[in-house]
Amino acid sequence: MPVSLNTEGIEAEKGTYARTDVLKQLRDAFAILHKHQPDHVVVLGGDCGVELAPIAYLNEKYDGDVAVLWVDSHPDVKLPDHYIGQHAHVPFNRRY
């Protein structure tokens, strides 16, 4: 998966650090998933934001009838008004 290597002048944008880069990566991942149309997705590694596009894709593909096995060291269940880092945002109701 292509990722941004931008580390210069990272600032918070609308409650998220590097929001522009993060959203571009999410859209790119979503586009790749739509191009290849997998029935299942396994995500290993990365930060706690790598699952957003795969979960959103599968949720859309199966119209909400999706199960997620999430193994992590902490729950990523905060919203931008409580935490400025994107890796804790889990917007299941959003399309990228």
Helices (H), the chain: 19-36, 52-61
Q: Provide the pLDDT for residue 3.
A: 76
Task: Please work out, in degrees rounded to the nearest 5, the angle formed at the alpha carbon of residue 28 by the alpha carbons of 68 and 15.
Answer: 75
pLDDT in tens, 74-94: 665 666 666 666 555 555 555
pLDDT in tens, 35-89: 999 999 998 877 767 888 898 899 999 999 998 887 766 665 666 666 666 555 5
Burial class (CB in 10 A: 0-12, 13-18, 19+), 80: middle
> Where do the structural domains in the chain lie, given as residue ranges?
12-88
State the pTM of this model: 0.69
